[in-house]
Amino acid sequence: MRSFYGKCDKCLSFGGPNRTRCEGCGRKRPYFPRSTGPAKRFWHRVEKGPGCWIWRGARRRGQYGNVAFKKRFWRAHRLSWYLTHGKIPKNKRVCHTCDNRWCVNPAHLFIATQKDNIWDMVRKGRKVGAKLTPTQVRLIYVQLKTASNSANLLAKKYGVSLPTVYRIGNGATWSAVTQDLK
């Protein structure tokens, strides 16, 4: 079976239900046989702009781009790093400076540990699903250490559980935010 990928070379439009013809100009879509290099097939699915380069291929559940390469599935931004910089070190993450999940611009990617990635997320205020902001965590930590409030009162005041307050106090959670207060 033939596979049709990416954008139209003539009008640069993407996608649509008709996989054999361009939705913008009606021209036949380019065909890339398996013998075509994987890098060419990968970059053909990228919409390059002045800032972020947006992945226009498959996306896993609407999140990160997903692509098959070397008999396994890769996230598109990780493959972008691999194709431009080489091997990704073991136990390292490929992170975005732009915080755009679909961006595959190698200039917007960096290598970090999971801890560095979480610290970057907290620093930028992107802790998804968190009930507390970094400012509230600092206040809880200081109030616990100065004993001006009990843990029960702080838990009720901020709408979190008592174990959450204790974990903030002993550095088990949010340690990236409270490390400068120690």
Query: Strand 109-112 to strand 93-96: parallel, antiparallel, or no bridges (unpaired)?
Result: antiparallel
Q: pLDDT at residue 115 above 70?
A: yes
What rounded mean pLDDT belongs to the chain? 80
Look at residue 40 in the predicted model and tell me its pLDDT: 81
- Report the 10 Å Cβ neighbour count for 8: 19
> Would you say 47 and 56 are in contact if contact means Cβ atoms under 8 Å apart?
yes
Confidence of residue 60 (pLDDT cuts 50, 70, 90): confident
Does 170 or 3 have the greater pLDDT score? 170
Look at residue 2 in the predicted model and tell me its pLDDT: 36
Q: What are phi and psi of 90, to 5 degrees?
A: -65, 140
Over residues 13-35, the pLDDT tens digits come to: 655 555 566 666 666 655 555 55
Over residues 71-114, the pLDDT tens digits come to: 888 899 999 999 999 999 999 999 998 888 889 999 999 999 98
Which of 90, 101, 36 is closest to 66 using CA atoms?
Answer: 101
| pTM of the shown model | 0.60
b (16+ CB within 10 A) / e for 164-177: bbeebbeeebbbbb
